[in-house]
Amino acid sequence: MDGTGDKTAELFHGQAQLYRLMYLWMSSLCLKCAIELEIPDIIHEHGQPISLSQLVSDLKVPPSKTTFLKGLMRLLAHNGLFTIIKSNNNEEESEVSYDLTSASRLLVNGTDHCLSSMVQLTVSPALLDLYQNLGKWVRGEENTLRETSFGVGVYEFLAQNPEDLAVFQEAMASDSRFMKLVMKDLESVFDGLNSIVDVGGGTGTTAKIICEAFPKLKCTVLDLPEVVSNLSGNSNVSFVGGDMLKSIPHADAVLIKWVLHDWGDDDCLKILKNAKEAISGNGKGGKVIIIDTVLNEKEEQHEVLETKLLLNIMLAAEFNSKERSEEEWKKLFLKAGFTDYQIFPIFGFRSLIVLNP
């Protein structure tokens, strides 16, 4: 047998890979569909794995849509959103049931860690339409994809569109609620601090969680004036309108959560230098606390790395920035005047980075 068979097999393998990539958008929209149908809520309220027939009944969908619903659950189960539970009998056509996984539990409404708003933001028609212009943007002179499509960058666009800003803020707040999961592990990080500035802290979700865990700590949330102008704080949390590229209020520590990856190296340096200035003069030795992604392509699991690489595309297109490796982070830290840093991979695909001057 000559090599024709091997070459043919390679071509068919390549064809399957291309078709998979062509239809990846379908997985995202099926995820959105499951949220719109409230399938995670239905299974959660059911209290046990749910059969397809029961799901059809609860959803009150027409019988003609049963085939689609079965295919939807099969695809999402394949992608890890649901678990397929087979019955114990030996019938070939026995009905299967579906249960929640760690991913779909994050889509149950009313829980502390619901990420439905993040999904709705990311899979919105407007955003999907925006990314239809990637090729045009790459060949053009505009700095970001949004400038190609709308003539303004992300933050200018959000400032001009209050409804989009509200959706964005709720999505970011849903992500920030995950801080509750690790506060017990961060005692050594916040121990001995009296004050902290949450840079780019939005509506203050992270700040409030930190102050609930450490009630003696005073937290200032720094964000753009249009973001914080109508927000009210409490005895522990206050809001300040400003520009982190120009200055950061003084405190024992500065927190920068999922912000630096939105900025190119030059702007990151400005923010880091301002953060260093903000903690200067602290006799106890201030610190800068960063929560962000650290790329490690050689050691990461396939799905985690793919998540980071997808985010890297989004950052390049929307902000003209990038996810960074440890070496790239280190160069920025040293240029900004920091002499020591530690990285702790405790936030899933993101890490905790502690900088000391």
The C-alpha atoms of residue 206 and residue 174 are separated, in whole angstroms, by: 10
Q: How many CB atoms are located within 10 Å of the residue 268 CB?
A: 23
Phi first, then psi: give them for residue 221, nearest 5 degrees.
-95, 120
Residue (of 270, 295, 310, 289) closest to 350 by Cα position: 295
CATH of domain 4-107: 1.10.10.10
Question: Tokens 């203050």 identify what position?
Answer: 204
Cα–Cα distance for residue pair 140/145, rounded to 1 Å? 9
- Quote the pLDDT of residue 282: 57
Which amino acid is residue 38, in one-letter code? Answer: E
CA distance 354 to 342: 5
Q: Whose structure tokens read 């902000």?
A: 319
CATH architecture observed for domain 182-356: 3-Layer(aba) Sandwich (3.40)
Residues 6 or more apart in contact with residue 41 via CB below 8 angstroms: 108, 109
CA–CA gap between residue 54 and residue 66 (Å, rounded) = 11
Q: Structure pTM? A: 0.89
Cβ-based neighbours of 50, under 8 Å, separated by 6 or more: 42, 43, 58, 97, 98, 99
CA 152 – CA 158 distance, rounded (Å) = 10
- Residue 59 CA from chain centroid, whole number: 29
Q: How far apart are CA 336 and CA 256, in angstroms?
A: 15
Three-state secondary-structure class, residue 71 = helix
Question: What tens-digit pLDDT sequence spans the chain (357 residues)?
Answer: 556 778 999 999 999 999 999 999 999 999 999 999 999 999 999 999 999 999 999 999 999 999 999 999 999 999 999 999 987 655 555 679 999 999 999 999 999 899 999 999 999 998 999 999 999 999 999 999 999 999 999 989 988 998 988 899 999 999 999 888 888 889 999 988 999 999 999 999 999 999 999 999 999 999 999 889 888 888 999 999 999 999 999 999 999 999 999 999 999 999 999 999 999 865 566 899 999 999 998 888 999 999 999 999 999 999 999 999 999 999 999 999 998 999 999 888 999 999 988
CB 121 within 8 A of CB 171: yes
Query: 350-356 and 340-347: which strand pairing?
Result: antiparallel
End-to-end Cα, the chain, rounded Å? 67
* Catalytic (active-site) positions: 261
Q: Distances in Å between the alpha carbon of 218 and those of 82, 196, 208, 221, 233?
A: 42, 6, 10, 10, 11
- DSSP 8-state assignment for residue 96: P
What b/e string do you get for 198-228 counting C-beta neighbours within 10 Å, with b at 16 or more?
A: bbbbbbbbbbbbbbebbeebbbbbbbbeebb
Q: Up-side HSE of residue 112: CA atoms within 13 Å toward CB?
A: 8
pLDDT confidence of residue 54: 95
CA distance 343 to 354: 7
Q: Are the CB atoms for 226 and 159 separated by under 8 Å? A: yes
> 239 pairs with which residues across the strands?
221
- Domain ranges in the chain are 4-107, 182-356
Q: How far apart are CA 241 and CA 196, in angstroms?
A: 15
